[in-house]
A and B are shown apart, each in its own frame.
Chain A
């Protein structure tokens, strides 16, 4: 099972209920094809950086899900077919998360090794009072 993030944009002129309907439909597409939805995030209305299907605005929705290639394939097919959805992007995130973990661990390891050098900073401070006394 892999982790994916699927973001899609719904036309701004779709009514609230229809938006929820579209989202529910997409969720079922995932669950029916061996996937598991982890999070659904309605990011709300945003200005698009360029016009898409004659729209300047769009409703962003973000799915975080776990599934196989077939799950995503089916979801993307549904997104493509749906008239309300004007754009979508799928990103596989499990590898990225793993890499981030690795870097974090590496940094933690280095932090354990490093703390000693900053300590001898105090001798420098001791040097100064001596000329002042004289």
Chain B
């Protein structure tokens, strides 16, 4: 238990995304420090602009977690709703084939 302590302290941020060790190294989002929506002062997250919302779903069509994108919690909640609406009207897939 103790030998791992030292390494985890230094590479804390990179350690988690690298959890999927099998296969080739995937390109993960580096965590943004600021919420994109706070930064650009977007108050409404519209389900219609797929360009914005599309950045927050994975290739598989899943909603990306806050820890990867840096979105603040109020905006993440709005974003989740917007993504779900976009799925409903076929702007985004529910599950995308890889």
Contacts and interface: CB of A to CB of B under 8 A. Distances in A.
Given A89-B89, A91-B47, A97-B44, 18 more contacts: A7-B48, A9-B90, A48-B90, A49-B87, A49-B92, A49-B96, A50-B93, A50-B94, A52-B90, A60-B89, A62-B48, A87-B90, A89-B85, A89-B88, A91-B85, A96-B44, A99-B43, A100-B44
8 contacts: A7-B89, A9-B90, A49-B90, A49-B91, A49-B92, A88-B89, A91-B47, A100-B44
Contacts, number: 35
Contacts of B44: 96-97, 100
Nearest to B94: A50
Decide if the interface of chain B is mainly helix, strand, loop or mixed.
loop
A96 B87 CA distance: 19
A107 B92 contact: no
A88 B89 CA distance: 7
A104 B87 CA distance: 28
Interface residues of B, number: 15
A58 interface: yes
A87 B96 CA distance: 19
B41 interface: yes
Interface string A88-119: 11010000110110011001000000000000
A91 B47 CA distance: 10
Contacts of A9: 89-90
A119 B67 CA distance: 34
Nearest to B45: A96
Nearest to B61: A49
A11 B27 CA distance: 38
B43 A104 contact: yes
A3 B3 CA distance: 60
B87 to A, nearest CB: 7
Contacts of A88: 89
A48 B93 CA distance: 8
Contacts of B47: 91
Instruction: Name the 6 nearest CB pairs between A and B, nearest first.
Output: A100-B43, A48-B90, A49-B93, A89-B89, A103-B43, A100-B44
A7 B88 CA distance: 11
